[in-house]
Each structure stands twice: as structure tokens, then as C-alpha cells.
């Protein structure tokens, strides 16, 4: 893979989790944005992207330190995530939703990344009694402590969009989501992606969160 040095004029973006619901929309937005330079897509399996500005980087997420040249970027988007049911255990879930994102953040920061954008979740809280929310909150705290110039956590509730897999509980939630308080109503994956890209471009210093309500109001 040829590399491009990060540039303030045309930033290099790194995207981990490009095959997921939010990640797919992030990739589309970054590809279409003329202000963004190279887009490096970090994946576990090969994928085909019809764009000259996209570099597909197939990596072993258990040995990310061997791919540090691929993690040279200005902006880092992390949309990695799974469910406990799909992962098979709490330990496997934590590996995907905590270990991998944190390692991406650490290695990218060491390579000079300035901005980090993460798909977190409504209710993320390191002190939560709910395992899922606790893992998300612990990840937010760990990333916030790394010292990026700008960090943004998107905290969506139930994600709406076309999935390759069937999730019965999500389908029920989406069907009756309008009955929930606005904080918990479903949000389009495209809105979450738009919120992250907007945040990367605005580059507010410090650590910030985008609530589900704010995400739902994006066009």
C-alpha cells in the first residue's frame, strides 16, 4: 500500500468499521467530500471500493501494532461495534467494542492524529450497572485521556438503516420507537455519520458528545 503524508490542506481520514451500518455512511460522506484527501479504510476482510481516494487496509486487529504505517491520519473515525449475541460472550464483545477501538486510537495518536470521532451509545457511563453501557463509558474515558486535540463521541440510541443481518429486537424497537422519549427514539445511521463528519470538520477543541436528540435533528 502506498502512503500519503497527513496534510492540513487535505486531511487524511482513517475509518475503522467501514462495513457496519454507520461506517458505510461515513465512508460515503468522506469519499464525496472534496475537502478530504485520502480515506484509509481499516478492515479485517478485503472489500472493494470504487474510488481512487480510498485505500483499503486489511489488518489483523489482534496485531494492529504491525500496521502502524496504515494508521497515519489526521482524522480518525471509529465505528467498530458488535452485540453480545453476535460476539458470543461478554469477553468477545469487550474485545471488539473496547480493546480494538482503544488500540486504534492509541496507535493513531502516536502517529500524529489530531481528531478522533467515535460511535458510542446513549447511556454510555463507566459506572453503569449495565454491562453494555459500562463498556461504552469506559471506552469514552480511555479515549478522552489520550490527549487528542479534538474528540467527539456520537451517542445514538437504536440505529435505523438497512442491515445485512436480521436483529429481531431491533426490528421491534424500530417499529414502536415513536412511543419512546426522544432521547431513546431510533436515529438514522446516516444522521450519526453526518454528525461525526461535521464534528471532524469543525474541530472543536476538547472532548464533546453528540446526543441522540442532536443526531436526530441532523438532515
Task: Provide the residue ranges of all domains of the chain, joining segments of one domain with +.
Answer: 13-159+188-212
Report the C-alpha gap between 141 and 135 in whole angstroms: 10
Residue with cell 463521541: 153
Distance, C-alpha 28 to centroid of its chain: 14
Q: What is the DSSP letter of 76?
A: E
Q: Answer whether 140's CB lies under 8 Å from 119's CB.
A: no
* Catalytic-role residue among 136, 175, 184, 201: 136
Q: Which fold has domain 13-159+188-212?
A: Rossmann fold (3.40.50)
Compute how many other C-beta atoms are within 10 angstroms of the C-beta atom of residue 61.
Answer: 18
Annotation says 132 is catalytic: yes
Question: What pLDDT sits at residue 5?
Answer: 47
Contacts of 159 (CB under 8 A, 6+ apart): 21, 22, 170, 186, 187, 188, 189, 192
Which tens digits make up the pLDDT trace of 20-48?
999 999 999 999 999 999 999 999 999 99
- On whether the pTM is more than 0.75, the answer is yes
Q: Dump pLDDT digits (tens) for 59-114.
A: 999 999 988 988 999 999 999 999 888 999 999 999 999 999 999 999 999 999 99
Residue 3 has pLDDT above 70, yes or no: no
For 124-177, give the DSSP string. --TT-SSHHHHHHHHHHHHHHTT--SEEEEE--SSEES--SS--HHHHHHHHTG
Point out the catalytic residue in the list 53, 129, 132, 184. 132
Length of the chain: 219
129-149 pLDDT tens trace: 999 999 999 999 999 999 999
pLDDT at 6 over 80: no
Rg of the chain, C-alpha, whole Å: 16
136: annotated active-site residue: yes
Amino acid at each position: 500500500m502506498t502512503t500519503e503524508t497527513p496534510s492540513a490542506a487535505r486531511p487524511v481520514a482513517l475509518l475503522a468499521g467501514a462495513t457496519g451500518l454507520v461506517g458505510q455512511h461515513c465512508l460515503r460522506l468522506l469519499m464525496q467530500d472534496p475537502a478530504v484527501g485520502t480515506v484509509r479504510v481499516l478492515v479485517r476482510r478485503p472489500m472493494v471500493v470504487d474510488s481512487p481516494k480510498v485505500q483499503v487496509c486489511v489488518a489483523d486487529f489482534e496485531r494492529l501494532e504491525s500496521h502502524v504505517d496504515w494508521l497515519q491520519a489526521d482524522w480518525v473515525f471509529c465505528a467498530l461495534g458488535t452485540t453480545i449475541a453476535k460476539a458470543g460472550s461478554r469477553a468477545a464483545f469487550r474485545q471488539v467494542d473496547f480493546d480494538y477501538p482503544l488500540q486504534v486510537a492509541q496507535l493513531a495518536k502516536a502517529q500524529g492524529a489530531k481528531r478522533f470521532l467515535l460511535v458510542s451509545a446513549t447511556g454510555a457511563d463507566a459506572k453503569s450497572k449495565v454491562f453494555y453501557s459500562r463498556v461504552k463509558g469506559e471506552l469514552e474515558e480511555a479515549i478522552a485521556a489520550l490527549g487528542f486535540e479534538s474528540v467527539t463521541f456520537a451517542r445514538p440510541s437504536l440505529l435505523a438503516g438497512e442491515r445485512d443481518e436480521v436483529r429481531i429486537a431491533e426490528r421491534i424497537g424500530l417499529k414502536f420507537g415513536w412511543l419512546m422519549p426522544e432521547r431513546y427514539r431510533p436515529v438514522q445511521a446516516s444522521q450519526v455519520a453526518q454528525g461525526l463528519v461535521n464534528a471532524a470538520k469543525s474541530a472543536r477543541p476538547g472532548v464533546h458528545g453528540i446526543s441522540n436528540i442532536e443526531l436526530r435533528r441532523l438532515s
